[in-house]
Amino acid sequence: MAADWQPRRANAWSPKDDYPLKLQLGLPRVAKEWSNSCAAADKTCKRALQVRVWVRITQILNVGRPMNTFRCAFDLTLEWEDQTFKPVISNDVPFDQVDWARHWRPRWSLANLASEMHVEPLSSSCFTLHPDPDTLKPRVRLTQRVAGTFFEPFSLRRFPFDVQSLTIAISCDEPQSSVAFVDAMESTLDAGPFSPRLAEWLLLRRDTGLQANLPLDQRTPFTKTITQMDGSRAFPFSVFVARMPVKRKTGYYLTNIIPIYFIIVVYGWLAFGNLPDQDNQDQLNFLASLLLTMVSFKFTYRETLPKVHYLTLMDWYVYASVVMLGLQGVIHVWAKHSTHSQKRPRELYGLVLLVCLWFFIHGGIILYAYRFFSYLTELGPTELRDYIDTFRKSDHGIETQNENNYRTHIGGRKPSVPSISFMAAPHLTGARLPTVTAAQMQREGSVLNSPEIGSLFSGDEDVGSPETKAEC
């Protein structure tokens, strides 16, 4: 029953009952924070309890739908040492007599949860016991299936040649002086029948070798634990971060969008085939019809493009196509206002210039696409992390400059809510709440101000919804 798993503040063992296990878990005891803990301890210790954390990613769905979110299902495993279960390890007490609701367990929350979190209810099947291979001390392992929609501010300035870092941030709700998360370095991606194979994205492997057919369960995500301090808590706490680098599959855009614009611009070159003595009014009408065709074509695929407040690489390419059609019209007008003997040479010179410029642009696209397809796949974990962080810092620099220009434009007025400085990091956000307190916003920004988590995110999108804790 759910009521049996409510956190208890009493000891696991009491002389009034016949429960065979007496609590032996020692944690640093601080009265202010310990009153909110799951259980009390009979004795204290000077060293924080280390909880090993790892995840097994089982599903990744709906990346970027809706914008800046992705849905993920994973198995969260927490493992810690507890001398209370020494009689169970030594077979003095049967395992089925353990009342897990009496015992301490770590409290955690999802820092970047957006909505729709589902956690497997706690039961005896979620817990396992095994001795430590070195010290033979009993270790408790808690595994729960967690699914939810997570917030991830995408950096889309290089769309469709963009690389994202899908992040899951799990924060400990216990003080760092009592409980500290430790990265177990055992996080994996499931290779089962429901493994995260995305239609539009490709998971980048972490290995440093060049094995192209490496199984997904060996392509572990980037993981790290950090210590964070915020204004809503009077103590520092641990945060476990799992990052899954993905790159977009650009086949749809390279085969269905870019060739159409290329053909429209090339088709406009046919206007140079008119005879010199003919009026260029027909040429301008022809270019205007091509421009209308280009605009109408954009409406057919606009739902597949991200709606952001800045220009992506795809936007720059579309505008370059429009400019190329405009330059053709300028050349026709320029040639018309010349003598009859100079009209044809001017048109030919302009055509050669446009052809060279257009193919030069596509040569750069081909080189960038080749680097995007081959170079990123061969990067090791360190190089890949640096590659992602470099572009995110560049995007953050552009955002900072735009923000400063905006503040200068409005007269240097500061917003009513203190702004948060980022190192390539916007907000971690959660589900929408009726009210937003200053403490919540301060905590939200504090989690991301650290260099470790801050470099995971870009400053592309402003999100106003606050962080919501999802307690276990």
- Res 100: pLDDT: 87
Number of domains in the chain: 2
* Residues 316, 266 within the same domain: yes
The three state secondary structure string of 126-163 is HEEEEECCCCCCEEEEEEEEEEEEEECCCCCCCCCCCE
50/38 same-domain check:
yes
Q: How far apart are alpha carbons 351 and 219 in whole angstroms?
A: 50
* CATH number of the domain bearing residue 259: 1.20.58.390
436 confidence band (pLDDT: 50, 70, 90): very low
- Please state the separation of Cα 438 from the chain's center in Å: 25
Query: Between these two residues, 417 and 276, which has the higher pLDDT value?
Result: 276
Supply the pLDDT for residue 210: 41
Residue 230 has pLDDT above 80, yes or no: no
Question: What's the domain range around 175?
Answer: 2-249
Contact yes or no for 377/204 (Cβ under 8 A) = yes
- Whether the Cβ atoms of residue 70 and residue 100 lie closer than 8 Å to each other: no
If we measure between CA atoms, which residue out of 86, 85, 184, 177 comes closest to residue 143?
Answer: 184
CATH of residue 180's domain is 2.70.170.10
Confidence of residue 369 (pLDDT cuts 50, 70, 90): confident
Is residue 397 a part of any domain in this protein? no
Query: Band of the pLDDT at 220, cuts 50, 70, 90?
Result: low
The confidence score (pLDDT) of residue 282 equals 81
Which stretches within 245-339 are classed as H helix? 251-256, 258-268, 281-301, 313-336
If you average pLDDT over every residue of the chain, what do you get? 74
Whether residue 168 is predicted with pLDDT greater than 90 in this model: the reply is: yes
pLDDT tens digits, one per residue of 341-360: 787 888 888 889 999 999 99
- Minimum mean pLDDT among 12-21, 117-126, 416-425: which range? 416-425
Show which of 215, 249, 283 is a domain's final residue. 249
pLDDT of residue 147: 94
One domain, residues 369 and 262: yes
* Token pair 């434009």: residue: 409
Whether 2 shows a pLDDT value over 50: the answer reads: no
Q: Averaged over 4-13, what is the pLDDT?
A: 46
Based on the domain organization, do 142 and 197 belong to the same domain?
yes
pLDDT of residue 362 exceeding 70, the answer is: yes
pLDDT of residue 223: 85
Q: What SS3 class is residue 442?
A: helix
Q: Is 301 part of a structural domain of the chain?
A: yes
Where residue 409 falls among pLDDT bands split at 50, 70, 90? low
**Residue where a domain stops, chosen among 375, 398, 419:** 375
Q: How far is Cα 381 from Cα 345, in angstroms, rounded to an integer? A: 56
Beta bridge partners of 76: 55, 144
CA–CA dist 91, 275 (Å, integer): 99
